[in-house]
Chain A
């Protein structure tokens, strides 16, 4: 039997309150604004390689806002929308994508761990973080995210199994955007829905329309509640699509058609929610203009902040390898600080 794909938008259903709906819309719109600006900055040479998330805002924001401020997110590298929704300041995120050291130390109040490149390794780590919260009586829930390709990695399976065995309070979000860079889902696995795998671990698996933020949010809330009550983890599969390339170095025209992209563009999660909000009389042109004005202003301010970050120095290379430098780091630090490492080449 095929799992049911949960969906509210386009059916005239509105399962959440006004305030929540507007918060979801603002967070998605803000994230999209960032994504568009980030691509521009990258083309100007003011950002390094960047992984856009355009099209996946609903999946990321829906889960991020379903969590409490005391909960944690353990994201993958495409989860900038999730990080923004969790309160990571824009200038820190810009510095992160500039590969500037100042962007790699997230502020203490932000309960998000740094995203990183290796695939699926965050899954067992998220389980550990969740168990730590339970052990300490802090009761935080962990939301962690992975792509469809990542579910082929061993760590995905080890992590899910650990979470199931220990009843870990984790929500596993799979953003199934159809491609692992260029390899389509059909070439990645023989199951039709990744959420089916949940049964193999003895945990609930749920499929949602990943471009329907109401569906993501409602189901994520249920999963968070289950986790918080000690009922264990949930696998949440969000069917979605990235409208942009895998990274700024990728050319998606080599592996997918314009028609396919256009079809998904019509399911844009932001436009869909906006339409629903307008139908409810909760949103309109004026509100949109005002929001965009706010975002423009905020972004300009944050870019300026990022630009003010001091130039990193070479000795930063060997800082923070250990809590205290060992003799080898100390020696390198002195050489780097004095520029002596350059002389060594000659």
Chain B
């Protein structure tokens, strides 16, 4: 269901609107984390929500990520629908025990008695010269955790609908927001409450020569590369996965079968990253269609550089994607 009117919003505004609508619609929804109340979040994503819904529904917590995740688990056990913010995805690490050992396991551990409808929002990714650990992309770590879902939107109108779906979902959902896109993208966003299905990938650009696959902050990089390629007559398909777990393998494989060439783009470190999973799925499900090996464009096997001056060498850009495209096209 899609509302009628649309305005141009950035990602921060779209997510804020989704939270506002969720709080208004269901009193079981609580929003909390470090600095989300009075300050409105370090990125202002939760701006105005405490003033509107009060400190019972939108509140600041002590600075303790494991405590925040543990609190969210207990609140969900008690019948509420917590939406926790972790200030940066790289700050999830102190909470990994709660995530890996509990958040993803309770439904299984209790044979379905205890489901945890928790949403954890966290900004991730680089491109804006943040300090150390503020640009990490831990999506593969999360995707490797049974029992949780992982959603990474790439545009304001998608983010709004996907976040509302995540909050309605009966299982824990990690909702990662690319920092680079917060104020870097603007799009028409429908007014009112609407949801978009989790677990669906989408083809954002059609093409017949090669397929680019990525998500979140890499979608605009892939689009840019595809536009440049188009000028040379190369038609590149661009697939935005949006949901990493559950993965829409069907759409992914269909897109690769159409072109026979695939490049996977992600900004986490290369080894064991989510792109490795995509390459493996393609090998298992569509190898007979491949005219070239699947190529990954990713970060390097090193911590994300905390040095703004060289950060752009780490984070994949259109040039690197074009070079990879050339490789698969001339193989």
Interface residues of A (CB under 8 A from B): 74, 101-102, 104-106, 108, 113-114, 116-118, 121, 123-133, 135-136, 154-155, 158-159, 161-162, 165, 319-323, 326-328
- A325 to chain B: closest residue by CB: B246
Chain A residues whose C-beta falls within 8 Å of the C-beta of B73 in the assembled complex: 124-125, 128
In this complex, what residue of A is CB-closest to B94? A154
* A129 vs B107: C-alpha distance when bound (angstroms): 16
**B70 A116 Cβ-Cβ under 8 A:** no
- Tell me if B67 counts as interface (CB < 8 A to partner A): yes
Q: Which of A101, A105, A126, A328 contacts B74 (CB 8 A)?
A: A126
- Decide if B110 touches A125 in the complex (CB within 8 Å): no
Query: Known pairs A128-B72, A321-B147. 12 more at Cβ < 8 A?
Result: A74-B74, A118-B102, A128-B76, A129-B74, A129-B77, A132-B80, A135-B30, A155-B67, A158-B64, A162-B61, A319-B112, A328-B246
Contacts of A133 in B (CB 8 A): 78
Q: Are A320 and B74 in contact (CB under 8 A)?
A: no
Top 7 closest pairs, chain A to chain B, by CB = A128-B74, A132-B78, A124-B70, A326-B246, A158-B67, A105-B111, A129-B74
With a CB–CB cut-off of 8 A, which chain A residues contact B67? 124, 127, 155, 158-159, 161-162
Cross-chain contact A127 with B71 (CB below 8 angstroms): yes
Question: Of A114, A132, A154, A158, which contacts B75 at CB under 8 A?
Answer: A132
Task: Assess whether A123 is in contact with B70, with CB atoms less than 8 Å apart.
Answer: yes
Q: Does B66 contact A (CB under 8 A)?
A: yes
Query: From residue B272, how far is it (CB to closest CB) to chain A in Å?
Result: 18
Assembled-state Cα–Cα distance A121/B101 (Å)? 9
Whether B308 is near chain A, meaning CB under 8 Å from some CB there, is no
With contacts A121-B101, A132-B79, A323-B115 taken as known, whether A159 is within 8 angstroms of B110 at the C-beta atoms is no
Residues in B lying within 8 Å of A, measured CB to CB:
30, 56, 61-62, 64, 66-67, 69-80, 82, 94, 97-98, 101-102, 105, 107-115, 146-147, 149, 170-171, 199, 245-250
Supply 28 A–B pairs (Cβ within 8 Å), ascending by A: A108-B113, A114-B110, A116-B105, A116-B109, A117-B101, A121-B70, A124-B67, A125-B70, A125-B77, A125-B102, A127-B71, A128-B70, A128-B71, A128-B82, A132-B74, A132-B80, A133-B78, A135-B80, A136-B78, A155-B98, A158-B62, A162-B61, A162-B70, A319-B112, A320-B111, A321-B146, A323-B170, A327-B246
Residues of A close to B170: CB separation below 8 A: 322-323
Q: What is the CA–CA distance of A327 and B64 in the complex, to the nearest angstrom?
A: 35
Q: Is the CB of A127 within 8 A of B74?
A: yes
Contacts of A322 in B (CB 8 A): 107, 147, 149, 170-171, 246
Cα separation A344 to B307 with both chains bound (whole Å): 48
Whole-angstrom distance between the Cβ of A48 and the nearest chain B Cβ: 15
Q: Which residues of A contact B76 (CB under 8 A)?
A: 128, 132
Decide: A323 and B110 in contact? CB cutoff 8 A.
Answer: no
Given contacts A116-B109, A136-B80, A321-B108, contact A155 B171 (CB under 8 A): no
Query: In the complex, are the beta carbons of A321 and B71 less than 8 A apart?
Result: no
A283 to B185 Cα, complex, angstroms = 77
Q: Considering residues B62, B77, B114, which has the most beta carbons from chain A within 10 angstroms of its beta carbon?
A: B77
CB atoms of B101 and A129 under 8 A apart = no
Most buried by B among A127, A129, A161: A129
- List residues of chain A with CB within 8 A of the CB of B149: 322
Residue of chain B at shortest CB distance from A144: B74
Which of B98, B102, B108, B249 has its CB near the most chain A CB atoms (within 10 A)?
B108
Considering the chains assembled together, what is the distance between the CA atoms of A106 and B113 in angstroms? 7
Count: A-B pairs, CB below 8 Å: 148
Residues of B contacting A327 with CB < 8 Å?
Answer: 199, 246-250
Shortest Cβ distance from residue B60 to the other chain A in the assembled complex, whole angstroms: 10
Minimal beta-carbon separation of B12 from chain A (angstroms): 27
Chain A residue nearest to B148 in the complex (CB): A322
- Cross-chain contact B78 with A128 (CB below 8 angstroms): yes
Closest to B243 in A: A326
**Contact A121 B97, CB 8 Å, known A159-B70, A162-B61:** yes
CA distance A165 to B71 in the complex (A): 13
Query: What chain A residues lie within 8 Å of B199 (beta carbons)?
Result: 326-327
Q: Are the C-beta atoms of A161 and B109 separated by less than 8 Å? A: no
Once the chains are docked, how many angstroms separate the CA of A240 from the CA of B76?
A: 33
CA distance A101 to B107 in the complex (A): 12
Q: Is the CB of A158 within 8 A of B79?
A: no
The minimal Cβ–Cβ distance linking B56 to chain A, given in whole angstroms, is 7
Instruction: Give Cα A101 to B110, complex, Å.
Output: 9
Report how far A113 CA is from B107 CA in the complex, Å: 12
Which A residues lie within 8 Å of B56 (CB)?
Answer: 135
Q: Which residues of B contact A113 (CB under 8 A)?
A: 77, 110, 114
Residues on B with C-beta less than 8 A from A128 are: 70-78, 82
**Residues of B close to A320: CB separation below 8 A:** 107-108, 110-112
Q: Which A residues lie within 8 Å of B110 (CB)?
A: 104-106, 113-114, 320
What's the Cα separation between A165 and B34 when bound, in Å? 14
Q: Is the CB of A131 within 8 A of B78?
A: yes
Q: Does the CB pair A162–B71 fall under 8 Å?
A: yes
- Residue pair A323, B107 in contact (C-beta under 8 Å): yes
Q: Are A118 and B101 CB-contacts (below 8 A) given A104-B110, A128-B71, A135-B80?
A: yes
**Chain A residue nearest in CB terms to B198:** A326
Cβ-closest chain A residue relative to B114: A113
CA distance A258 to B94 in the complex (A): 41
A122 (CB) vs chain B CBs: closest residue: B70
A129 to B70, CA, bound (A): 10
* Closest residue of A by beta carbon distance from B70: A124
| In contact, B62 and A162 (Cβ under 8 angstroms) | yes
Residue from the list A104, A118, A129, A136 in contact with B111, Cβ < 8 A:
A104
Report yes or no: A121 in contact with B102, Cβ–Cβ below 8 A.
yes
A155 in contact with B97 (CB, 8 Å): yes
CB contacts (< 8 Å) of A125 on chain B: these are: 70-71, 73-74, 77, 98, 102
Tell me which of B64, B79, B80 contacts A161 (CB under 8 A): B64
Roughly how many angstroms separate A158 CA and B248 CA in the complex, as a whole number? 38
Contacts of B77 in A (CB 8 A): 113, 125, 128-129, 132
Assess the A131–B70 pair: CB atoms within 8 A: no
Given A106-B110, A130-B74, A131-B74, A158 contacting B171 (CB threshold 8 A)? no
B71 touches A131 (CB 8 A): yes
